[in-house]
């Protein structure tokens, strides 16, 4: 069973028709940085769909569930509860797996190495997509991932496809991991990003694709503030076109 518990961030209701903003793109493009900032700017809910796949992966690792063991996977999906809570002290949305806060563990190397193969499993995707759709009922939401604009919310009013130079992405990811005290070499980071992009773009179930109606945002040479300013204009234009 999977659910999202309402938190101070997830739970915003607009007086106008709720809006869905879908942000997809390659690994370490800064999707969640943009999504969080955008959600905070407009008071929308934010859902990190990748965190859901990561939480499932952590569970599979801990329970030693083989990725070809369909029965064990089905049982595991029944036993997995995922929810997000906003932690005001850490000023972040945190992922919970069966009531345990796992926000840091799901970013660890073992999880990062296995998450893309786990995300290719049909039963896992079906369960996660149902959870993602549930999270958007009656509220304005920004969700980032790989298939949000193409599969989860093909009706989203704003779809953004983020991309950046692979070396720029690897440098950003390396700096992020170093800041967290994680021991990755630059080569390992490059290899992990390449492999995840390859698996995410070539899998059978809802691969990473640019939606035909997505706006492309290449942030190789944009600061976080510059990219946010750009997207704020897109959202404002959209909202004013509705009234």
The residues of the shown chain that bind ligand DC, judged by CB under 6 A, are: 27, 49-50, 53-54, 115-116, 119, 145-148, 196, 200
Q: How far is the CB of 35 from ligand DC (least distance, A)?
A: 10
> Which of 10/115 has CB closer to ligand DC?
115
d(CA 85, CA 63): 24
109 Cβ neighbours under 8 A, 6+ residues apart? 182, 184
> Which of 89/204 has CB closer to ligand DC?
204
Query: What Cα–Cα distance (Å) separates residue 2 from each residue in 151, 211, 213?
Result: 19, 27, 30
> Which of 14/199 has CB closer to ligand DC?
199
> Which of 53/84 has CB closer to ligand DC?
53
Q: How far is the CB of 124 from ligand DC (least distance, A)?
A: 9
Q: How far is the CB of 27 from ligand DC (least distance, A)?
A: 5
> Which of 85/103 has CB closer to ligand DC?
103
Q: How far is the CB of 33 from ligand DC (least distance, A)?
A: 11
Q: How far is the CB of 49 from ligand DC (least distance, A)?
A: 4
Please give the structure tokens belonging to residue 165. Answer: 């130079």
> Which of 9/35 has CB closer to ligand DC?
35
> Which of 106/243 has CB closer to ligand DC?
106
Q: How far is the CB of 242 from ligand DC (least distance, A)?
A: 26
Q: How far is the CB of 236 from ligand DC (least distance, A)?
A: 26
Q: Could you tell me the strand order of the sheet in which 45-48 lies?
A: 45-48, 141-145, 20-25, 158-163, 215-218
């Amino acid at each position: 069973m999977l659910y999202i518990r309402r938190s101070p961030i997830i739970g915003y209701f607009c007086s106008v028709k709720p809006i869905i903003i879908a942000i997809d793109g390659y690994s370490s493009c800064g999707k969640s940085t943009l999504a969080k900032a955008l959600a905070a700017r407009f008071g929308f809910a934010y859902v990190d769909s990748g965190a859901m796949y990561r939480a499932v992966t952590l569970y599979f690792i801990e329970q030693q569930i083989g990725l070809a063991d369909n029965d064990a996977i089905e049982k595991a999906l029944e036993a997995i509860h995922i929810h997000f809570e906003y932690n005001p002290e850490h000023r972040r949305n945190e992922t919970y797996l069966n009531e345990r806060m796992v926000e840091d563990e799901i970013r660890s190397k073992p999880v990062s190495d296995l998450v893309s193969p786990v995300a290719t499993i049909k039963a896992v995707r079906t369960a996660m997509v149902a959870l993602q759709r549930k999270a958007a009922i009656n509220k304005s939401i920004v969700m980032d991932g790989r298939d949000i604009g193409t599969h989860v919310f093909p009706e989203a009013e704003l779809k953004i496809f983020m991309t950046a130079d692979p070396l720029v992405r690897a440098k950003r990811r390396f700096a992020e991991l170093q800041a967290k005290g994680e021991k990755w070499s630059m080569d390992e980071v490059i290899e992990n990003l390449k492999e995840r992009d390859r698996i995410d773009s070539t899998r059978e179930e809802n691969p990473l694709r640019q939606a035909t109606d997505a706006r492309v945002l290449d942030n190789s040479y944009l600061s976080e503030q510059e990219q946010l300013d750009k997207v704020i204009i897109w959202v404002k234009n959209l909202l004013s076109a509705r009234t």
